[in-house]
Amino acid sequence: QRPKNFPPGPAPLPILGNLLNLSLDNPMKDFDRLWKSYGNVYSLFLGPKPAVVINGVQAMKEAMVTKAADFAGRPQDIFVSDLTQRGMVLADYGASWREHRRFALMTLRNFGLGKQSMEQRILGEIQYTMETLEKSIGATLGPQVLFHNAASNIICQVLFGTRYDYDDSFIQVVVQCFKENSKIANGPWAMLYDSIPMIRNLPLPFMKADLFNGFIPSLCPSLSLLSERCQQEIDRVLAKRDHASYDDRRNMPYMQAVIHEVQRVANTVPLSVYHCTTSDTQLMGYSLPRGTLIIQNLNSVLNEEGQWKSPREFNPDNFLNDQGEFVKPEAFMPFSAGPRMCLGEGLARMELFLITVTLLRRFKFIWPEDAGRPDYTPVYGVTLSPKPYCMKVQLRAKQSPIFSET
């Protein structure tokens, strides 16, 4: 039974609630279909528990920004929070979370975020990535593990003062565990675990999940059709300098637009991290009791009609004004919004810019002729990632002088 004045939604079944309304492999299409049927704020029963799904910029801002404190909790009785030891990402809103968040932000800053030293760390890691790519010139390679390792090394250097070789067996296992956990954490077995508490101690696949957790941003290589225009901009701005700096983004509106458009379309964390209400509250005229599970459909905001010039296609113009200057629409929320928004945004942005610019400056990335058409069906977990794919790497014919000397 829905509480009084609760958002509308499909009729639930006993015990299972609305689980049969969602594809357990990838429910994103179902979330969008229900959005069209029930509006920007609707409800679902995940087993016996009611959850509210928030869609579109207007409702998202009312919840996450205007009523930030009411919506900043994290549910405590679900699979991912039982799997991890709370820490910060899954900690409920309160003094302990606040202290962890403050400490983490301060530590990131002390270790150089927003300063030259973090740039140097990222640029240093890119040298290893380039060396590995150079060994594969002309060959076909599957780059996903390489990019995972590069991103993981940057945060490992901040946290542990060390990096791992790309073929190091320890880090390969850790990254693999993270990928598997992410699939299990948002997958069908986790949903059943959350919905039907009595099955929690049975020997089912959620028992296999490892305890490794961290955040590894997905890197999206720019599409080949756009790379030449990016490369012209990179060559013009960097001229003879030996490396890019993060400040160069101010003179590279097209590059910035491409990176942001990749992030918009890739939609890497489509349902954010679940929130819950910290007190009885209202949203778009509906009443939500304290403790209601909140699911942010970030996908709905990143593709919302009326917020983007071309919501349904890949088009860097979504981030360019008529003068060709970079602009960021308010619907660009891949890191969420409000007090729980991604703490790593600054680092992720710096990595995306420096890695993309440095690699595009030196290499040409080609879809192999014999690879067939790309399969864009995403692999669904906490993050959406591409299916394993192959690409070819070539050195660019027209190099900036500093690179042709090496």
Instruction: State the residues that interact with ligand HEM by CB under 6 A.
Output: 88-89, 101, 155, 215, 217, 268-269, 272-273, 275, 334-336, 340-344, 347-348
Residue 238 or 342 having the CB closest to ligand HEM: 342
- Read off φ and ψ for residue 43, nearest 5 degrees: -125, 160
Distance CA 368, CA 387 (A): 16
71 vs 192, which CB is nearer to ligand HEM? 71
Give the pair of three-digit tokens for residue 88.
Answer: 């910060």
Residue nearest to ligand HEM (CB): 344
Closer residue to ligand HEM, CB minimum distance, 244 or 384: 384
Minimum distance between the CB of residue 351 and ligand HEM, rounded to whole angstroms?
A: 7
**Tokens read off for 148:** 């995972």
Beta carbon of residue 38, minimum distance to ligand HEM (angstroms, whole number)? 22
Of residues 40 and 267, the one with the C-beta less far from ligand HEM: 267
Nearest distance from residue 101's CB to ligand HEM, in Å? 5
Q: What is the nearest approach in angstroms of ligand HEM to the Cβ of residue 249?
A: 15
* Closer Cβ to ligand HEM, 99 or 167, answer by number: 99
Angle between helices 345-362 and 116-135 (to 10 degrees): 40
Buried b (16+ CB within 10 A) or exposed e, 120-135: ebbbebbebbbebbee
CB of 217 to ligand HEM, least distance (A): 3
220 or 252: whose CB is closer to ligand HEM? 220
Q: Smallest distance from the beta carbon of 60 to ligand HEM, in angstroms? A: 10
The DSSP bridge pattern shows strands 391-395 and 363-366 to be antiparallel
d(CA 336, CA 301): 10
Please answer whether residues 204 and 406 qualify as being in contact, where contact means their C-beta atoms are separated by less than 8 angstroms. no
Nearer to ligand HEM, 103 or 403 (CB): 103
Nearer to ligand HEM by C-beta: 33 or 102?
102
Distance CA 376, CA 220 (A): 13
**What are the φ and ψ backbone dihedral angles of 294, each rounded to 5 degrees?**
-115, 125
Q: How far is the CB of 89 from ligand HEM (least distance, A)?
A: 4
Chain mean position to CA 179: 13
Contact 50, 43 (CB under 8 A): yes
> Which tokens sit at 137?
């010139």
Q: Which of 323, 283, 328, 322 is nearest to 307 (CA)?
A: 328
Structure tokens at 228: 């030449």
CB of 380 to ligand HEM, least distance (A): 15
